[in-house]
Chains A and B, each alone.
Chain A
Amino acid sequence: MNRPRLAIVGLTACSGCQLSLLNCEAELPLLLGQVQFELFPLACSPVLMAEEYDAALVEGCCTTAHEAELLRELRSRSRLLIALGTCAVWGGVATLCNDTPRQLLREQVYGPQPPSDDGLPQPLSAYVTVDACLTGCPPEKHELLALLADLLRGNLPPGGVSPVCSDCRMRENLCLLQERDQLCLGPLTLGGCGARCPSMGVACEGCRGPAPEANLAEAMTVYQQKGFDEQTVTARLHRFCPEWRHG
């Protein structure tokens, strides 16, 4: 069997999704027999764009014209393009202030004459067709390995449906929202992380983006009963996903 040729590339992000792959320390040597890391600037030189790839795994949101060009080029050279992580799938923290004029934000950081060679950070789907998504800030290592296994079998990852709450129930955790009155986004957030945060007593911050059937209206009623106003809940929801496209 030919080893799939992969491009692993980061746009506007923290490199955490790519690092998650390098954090598969035990599996990394084994993976080398299964896939080819043809373009992976974070870990391999030279940085050469090949004629074609079996799959491009792209981390980060798209912010600059340079990134948009790179993304389109990867799309045209890759059989599959996979959005890797919350920034690529939903926008992520970079999109936190997308409703504030960009120039104001730039001035706040760089002073009265800031550089201006960027645009509004957006998820990859705003620019290209995305074949599959792997969400999470960062994605779970086991999901990343499962994605590579899917690619080897010629499949795409099925994509999750259940919220973090389901994972929490499976682990028989105390409910931080109902029993501890914490602003936990578990009911609305796509699961698959094994309820990593609530399992350690920390409220879900929604880093995996909306679950497909999230009932925001119903959840908002519960949050308000617990004393959280809509503004606070909305601000927290928008930390990783500027537009709650659900339902």
Chain B
Amino acid sequence: MAKLRTINQMARVEGHGRIRLEQQAGRVVGARIELYESMRLFEALVVGRRYDEIADIVCRICSICSTVHKVAALQAVERALNLSVSQQTELLRQLAVQGGQIESHALHLFCLALPDYLGCGGFPELAQRAPAELKRGLEIKALGNRIQELVGGRAIHPFNLLLGGLGSIPTADSLTLLADQLQELLPAALATIELAATLEESLPALPPLPGCAATDGPSLFGERLATTDGQQITACEAYAWLDERLVDYSHAKVSRFSEHGPYLAGPLARLNLHAPLEPSAQAALHRYAPRLLGAPLTACHLARAIELLQAIERAMVLCSQLLQNGLQPEQAGSVQPRAGSGTTLIEAPRGLLLHQYCFNADGRCTAAQVVTPTAINQGAMAAMLTALVEKLPDAAPDAFKLQAERLIRCFDPCISCAVH
């Protein structure tokens, strides 16, 4: 009879990763995160494909982040083809991206991270121990999906976001209803910040990390890569600056940051880089500033909760702007293929995301580069694991591993994205 067997795979993270410990005489002397997700090869799969197929294919890199991958790819392809979109399309894309942010942050806070703080294994036990919190989290998560469905046509792999425009424009009634639903969720978002602020952290104090994020755009959009230690890199220089290299323990390439870093990407980095915030989120940041600014990784849940409020508020603002402008039917403009390249920097829920594509005169893709936040965060993960080894010199291997997994979950890794 087959026996119960442990599979060496991290739980409550997207994708396939494991923590490998180095031990001497029963003590942990080193730890490493290995992203052993099978090679997806998306950057090769799109080569030779026509410009209008790229975004539909690459959004399949990841389900949780599919909307932001789709928007990043569309923008990069449009830049390469010198194709502009209407303000209405831009606002609707921003709305869809905020929807993805809401869904992803709620999923992580309530389903993936919260069990660590309530001593349980996942949502089935949470439903017993903290049913009200789980219900609230799922309601917020559902509304994030509702936004992605309304604008993108589907919560996962949104098909309604097209090159140059959209398939269907949402109706004014549906946006009015959405704005009302967002308004109703504000108390739940505020309560989530309180919840995140009161989580009892069992991880030891860790050194803070410098952060990186896309800046100079509307919320979650950016034109430049900035770091908390003063680096400023333009979008077209960003890929070279990130300087990704192959390592032998991960199928995700690791950024060298041109001899800087390693940098943290994600909610905490964004708040430390003064990402634009709506009034309530700004007030929450102000209130908790000492616990967030220059803070170590363990402040990430509080940062994520504040970003959840920000995304809800920002989505309301976008709904109201769209309604104020009046929703117009529009046709995506015709595309003239041409040789060129385009790069987009954007903020995915887990941090900085870069898409870059080159096309020949026939509009066929000749090269593609995608750099994802979890790949960027590998250096920070390694630094934090090293710090954890130093902080827990006497931990038994099993106990250490639990803490190490908890630490890695603070990054909310998305390993399908990292390997892509």
- A residues near B (Cβ < 8 Å) are 10-17, 19-20, 22-23, 25-26, 28-29, 32, 36-37, 40-52, 63-64, 66-67, 70, 73, 76-77, 92-94, 96-97, 104-106, 108-111, 113-115, 118, 121, 137-138, 196-197, 200-202, 205, 207, 235-236, 239
| A46 partner, pick from B61, B121, B134, beta carbons under 8 A | B121
In the bound complex, how far is the Cα of B38 from the Cα of A10, in angstroms?
11
Stretch at the interface among B9-17, B231-239, B301-309, B313-321: B9-17
Would B159 and A15 count as touching, CB distance under 8 A? no
B1 contacts A51, CB within 8 Å? yes
A46 CB contacts on chain B under 8 angstroms: 6, 11, 121
Asked if residues B127 and A32 are in contact (CB atoms below 8 Å), the reply is yes
Query: Are B122 and A200 in touch, CB under 8 angstroms?
Result: no
Cβ-defined partner of A109 (8 Å) among B15, B44, B62, B134: B44
Determine the chain B residues whose CB is within 8 A of the CB of A92 once the complex forms: 60
Q: Which single residue of chain A is at the shortest CB-CB distance from B251?
A: A115
Which residue from B3, B39, B112 sits with its C-beta under 8 Å from A115? B39
Cα(A105)–Cα(B38), bound, Å? 13
Within the complex, the shortest CB–CB distance from A193 to chain B, in Å, comes to: 9
Contact among B6, B10, B47, B153 with A48 in the assembled complex (CB-CB below 8 Å) = B6
Of A43, A47, A48, A52, which one neighbours B111 at CB under 8 angstroms?
A43
DSSP majority for the B interface? loop
If A14-B61, A32-B124, A37-B122 touch, does A108 touch B47 (CB 8 Å cutoff)? yes
Are B14 and A29 in contact, CB atoms less than 8 angstroms apart?
A: no
B60, A19: Cβ atoms closer than 8 Å: no
Asked if B14 and A15 make an inter-chain contact with CB atoms under 8 angstroms apart, the answer reads yes
- Cβ-defined contact, B115 with A45, below 8 A: yes
Top-4 shortest CB links A-B: A16-B63, A44-B122, A45-B11, A202-B167
The residue on B at minimum CB distance from A31 is: B124
Which residues of the partner chain B approach A52 to less than 8 Å between Cβ atoms? 2
Q: Return chain A residues, CB-CB under 8 Å to B4.
A: 48-51
| Sample of 20 more A-B contacts, CB < 8 Å, known A25-B141, A49-B7 | A10-B16, A15-B416, A16-B63, A20-B156, A23-B156, A32-B127, A43-B122, A44-B12, A45-B11, A46-B6, A48-B4, A93-B57, A105-B44, A109-B41, A137-B60, A196-B154, A200-B168, A202-B159, A205-B56, A239-B56
Residues in A with CB closer than 8 Å to B153 are 196-197, 200, 202
Interface residue B145 (Cβ < 8 Å from any Cβ of A)? yes
| Interchain residue pairs with CB less than 8 A apart (29) | A12-B38, A14-B60, A14-B66, A16-B66, A16-B156, A16-B157, A22-B111, A23-B142, A23-B145, A28-B123, A29-B134, A42-B12, A43-B123, A44-B121, A45-B12, A47-B8, A51-B3, A66-B36, A93-B60, A109-B44, A111-B246, A121-B38, A137-B60, A196-B159, A197-B159, A200-B160, A202-B160, A235-B53, A239-B57
In the complex, chain A residues whose CB is within 8 Å of the CB of B160: 197, 200, 202
CA–CA, A186 to B269, complex, Å?
44
B112:A43 contact, CB within 8 angstroms = yes
**Chain B interface, number of residues (Cβ within 8 angstroms):** 69
Most buried by B among A29, A45, A48, A105: A45
Interface string of B404-419 (1 = CB under 8 A from A): 0100000000001000
Residue contact A106 to B41, C-beta cutoff 8 Å? yes
Interfacial chain A residues near B390, Cβ < 8 Å: none
Which residues in A have their C-beta under 8 angstroms from that of B371?
none
State whether the Cβ of B90 lies closer than 8 Å to any Cβ in chain A.
Answer: no
Answer yes or no: B5 CB below 8 A from chain A CBs.
Answer: yes
The complex places the Cα of A195 from the Cα of B2 at a distance, in Å, of 44
CA distance A104 to B48 in the complex (A): 14
Nearest residue (CB) in B for A94 is: B40
Task: Check if A138 sits within 8 Å of B47, measured CB to CB.
Answer: no
Interface: B64 (CB within 8 A): yes
Question: Once the chains bind, are A40 and B122 in contact (CB under 8 Å)?
Answer: yes
Q: In the assembly, what is the distance between CA of A118 and CA of B138, in Å?
A: 37
Q: B396 near A: Cβ within 8 Å?
A: no
The residue on A at minimum CB distance from B60 is: A93
Asked if B118 is an interface residue, CB under 8 A from chain A, the answer is no
Contacts of B1 in A (CB 8 A): 51
* Residue from A15, A45, A47, A196 in contact with B63 in the complex, judged by beta carbons closer than 8 Å: A15
Residue B253 lies at the interface, judged by CB distance under 8 Å to chain A = yes
Closest to A193 in B: B154
Partner of B246, one of A14, A28, A114: A114
Within 8 Å by CB of B253, from A47, A110, A137, lies A110
What is the bound-complex CA distance between A137 and B127, given in angstroms?
29
For B218, list chain A residues within 8 Å (CB): none
User: Complex: how many Å from CA A41 to CA B416?
Assistant: 14
Instruction: Flag if B246 contacts A110 (CB, 8 Å).
Output: yes
**Min C-beta distance of B197 to chain A, whole Å:** 24
Q: How far is the CB of B183 from chain A (nearest CB, A)?
A: 19
The verdict on B131 contacting chain A, using a C-beta distance below 8 Å, is yes
- A54–chain B nearest beta-carbon distance, Å: 15
Distance in angstroms between the alpha carbons of A45 and B2 in the assembled complex: 21
Partner of B124, one of A44, A50, A108, A197: A44
Q: A41-B9, A46-B11, A105-B45 are in contact. Are A25 and B145 (CB under 8 A)?
A: yes
Question: Would you call B38 and A26 a contact (CB within 8 A)?
Answer: no
Nearest Cβ distance between residue A20 and chain B, in whole angstroms?
6
| Contact partners of B9 in chain A: CB under 8 A | 41, 47
In the complex, whether B28 has a CB less than 8 A from a CB of chain A is no
Chain A residues, CB < 8 A from B131: 29
- Chain A residues with CB under 8 Å of B111's CB are 22, 43
Q: Which residue of A lies closest to B125 (CB)?
A: A44
Q: Chain A contacts of B123 at CB under 8 A?
A: 22, 28, 43-44
Which among A14, A20, A45, A108 is the interface contact of B44 at CB below 8 angstroms?
A108
> How many Å lie between the Cα of A200 and that of B160 in the bound state?
7
Query: Does B274 belong to the interface (CB within 8 Å)?
Result: no
A51 partner residues in chain B, CB cutoff 8 A: 1-4
Contact between chains at A29 and B38 (CB < 8 Å): no
